[in-house]
């Protein structure tokens, strides 16, 4: 219904349209009559239960048209609610999300609608909705989701005084397709987004993690050279994490170096007996007896 004109030129003469409007009692359509000096008279102006009092007070205050008045044109203006849908791409914390914003809109001032020449009412409503959505996306919110759009915009009706239209947001739901309004800069990904990373970037992060704390500290210094003091402080207090891992021979030598003389003697005898038990010669032995190691 959004592509239907808001108003059309009446097919009959103004005085016939005036009589027909009064006799018909129609409430879904208003009659707007234009005088030669381009003043507008309205018959059948909307008095909606959902229209706020301050909205009614802003409707053009013009006297009702009279059969004795002079009119050079007549217009039929639709008063029923019309439904419009705007497809929008939201930059959420989980990546881009395509949604449909459903809007109800209507004419609250037929005279201003005709005077402004606003035949395509949905175009005016959509432009104002786009402006509000862009303002919401640029407000610094880290997560512009469907729920946040509803919370921010669905509570009130928005009046377009210059064209005599009012609209309100009634629903925002997920959608797929093209032709949407993209909020945020092209390629912009909000902080903490879980969108897919390039393969090269993923492989690099994985390699740095596998290389251990030293690689992470180096990456920290490369990306934040101004924090060299913090990197140095962390490195000094985490020396054990930054030392390269030794092999088992080095670990064994270090362990033997911590043993007492008695512990070394006992370990030497146990090792000798074990080698003899499996039939292995013991280096340094005399007449089948092994020489005790002197560590």
Per-residue pLDDT reduced to its tens digit, 165-200:
999 999 888 765 555 565 655 445 444 444 445 566
The reported pLDDT for the residue numbered 195 is 46
The reported pLDDT for the residue numbered 114 is 94
The reported pLDDT for the residue numbered 51 is 47
Q: Which of 59-68, 74-83, 154-163, 214-223 has the lowest mean pLDDT?
A: 59-68
42: how many CB neighbours lie within 10 A of its CB?
23
pLDDT beyond 50 at 155:
yes
Which DSSP helix (H) or strand (E) runs through 120? none
pLDDT tens-digit profile of 17-38? Answer: 887 777 777 788 888 889 888 8
C-alpha neighbours within 13 Å on the C-beta side of residue 206? 7
Confidence of residue 93 (pLDDT cuts 50, 70, 90): low
Regarding predicted confidence, which is higher, 92 or 138? 138
Question: Domain residues of the chain, as ranges?
Answer: 7-182, 199-242, 257-295
For residues 82 and 260, give the distance between their C-alpha atoms in angstroms, rounded to a whole number.
94
pLDDT beyond 90 at 104:
yes
pLDDT tens-digit profile of 122-139? Answer: 999 999 999 998 888 776
Question: For 103-107, what is the mean pLDDT?
Answer: 94
258: how many CB neighbours lie within 10 A of its CB?
7
Regarding predicted confidence, which is higher, 141 or 219? 219
- Contacts of range 142-148, beta carbons closer than 8 Å, 24 or more positions apart: 142/93, 142/190, 142/191, 142/192, 143/92, 143/93, 143/190, 144/90, 144/91, 144/92, 144/183, 144/184, 145/90, 145/92, 145/93, 145/97, 146/90, 146/97, 146/99, 146/172, 146/173, 146/174, 147/172
Give residue 177's region: left, alpha or beta (phi > 0; psi -120 to 50).
Answer: left
The reported pLDDT for the residue numbered 169 is 92
Closest CA to 33 of 76, 2, 78, 97: 76
pTM of the model: 0.54
The reported pLDDT for the residue numbered 47 is 52
Q: How many helices, marked H, and strands, marked E, lie in the chain?
A: 11, 9
Q: What average pLDDT does the chain have?
A: 75
pLDDT tens-digit profile of 242-261? Answer: 666 656 666 677 777 787 88
Regarding predicted confidence, which is higher, 93 or 185? 93
The reported pLDDT for the residue numbered 224 is 78
The reported pLDDT for the residue numbered 189 is 47
Regarding predicted confidence, which is higher, 154 or 130? 130
Closest CA to 77 of 166, 11, 8, 142: 8
Across 166-177, b (16+ Cβ under 10 Å) vs e yields bbbbeebeebee
């Amino acid at each position: 219904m959004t592509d239907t004109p808001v108003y059309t030129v009446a097919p009959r003469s103004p005085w016939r349209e005036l009589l027909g409007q009064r006799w018909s009692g129609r409430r879904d359509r208003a009659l707007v009559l234009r005088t030669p000096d381009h003043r507008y008279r309205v018959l059948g102006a909307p008095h909606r239960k959902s229209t706020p009092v301050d909205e009614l007070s802003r409707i053009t205050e013009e006297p009702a048209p009279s059969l004795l008045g002079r009119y050079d044109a007549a217009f039929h203006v639709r008063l029923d609610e019309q439904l419009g849908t705007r497809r929008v791409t939201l930059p959420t914390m989980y990546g881009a999300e395509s949604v449909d914003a459903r809007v109800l809109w209507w004419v609250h001032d037929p005279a201003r609608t005709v005077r402004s020449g606003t035949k395509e009412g949905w175009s005016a409503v959509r432009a104002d909705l786009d402006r509000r959505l862009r303002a919401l996306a640029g407000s610094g919110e880290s997560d512009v989701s469907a729920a946040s759009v509803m919370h921010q915009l669905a509570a009130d009706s928005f009046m377009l005084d210059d064209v005599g239209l009012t609209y309100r947001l009634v629903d925002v739901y997920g959608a797929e397709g093209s032709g949407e309004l993209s909020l945020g800069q092209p390629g912009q990904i909000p902080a903490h987004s879980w969108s897919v990373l390039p393969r090269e970037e993923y492989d690099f992060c994985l390699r740095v993690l596998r290389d251990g704390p030293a690689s992470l500290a180096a990456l920290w210094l490369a990306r934040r050279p101004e924090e060299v003091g913090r990197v140095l402080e962390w490195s000094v207090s985490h020396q054990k994490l930054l030392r390269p891992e030794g092999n088992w021979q080095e670990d064994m030598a270090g362990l033997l170096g911590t043993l007492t003389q008695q512990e070394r003697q006992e370990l030497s005898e146990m090792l000798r007996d074990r080698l003899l038990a499996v039939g292995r010669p013991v280096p340094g032995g005399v007449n089948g007896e092994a020489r005790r190691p002197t560590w």
